[in-house]
Amino acid sequence: MRTTNGGNGNRDGRGNGSKNIAHLVTEYRGIYNRIATQTGVDPSYVSRIARGERTNTQVESALAKEIARLHQLSTRFVGR
């Protein structure tokens, strides 16, 4: 019987490398749009804040939380 995670029997996200990496890439790709939606600003403004060209504590906090969430996902998928 094949499982939803590639048939390796693990349900914790490990052991299905290319799918996990693709999922992480998709998550990272949408980070500015998610933060913009959460904080009510334009994605280009989020980008400027991320590059240090502008400051906004609400956006910076949301970025930090999202990056921490993605880091947690990546360590679970990669096992580091």
Output the CA angle 34-35-37, nearest 5 degrees. 65
Question: Can you give the pLDDT at residue 60?
Answer: 98
pTM to 2 decimal places: 0.66
Chain position carrying tokens 């993605």: 70
In order along the chain (80 residues), what is the average pLDDT of each group of 10 residues? 42 58 75 96 96 97 94 72
Structure tokens at 4: 């939803």
Question: Can you give the pLDDT at residue 15?
Answer: 56
* CA-to-CA dists, residue 17 to 5, 37, 71, 79, angstroms: 10, 30, 16, 11
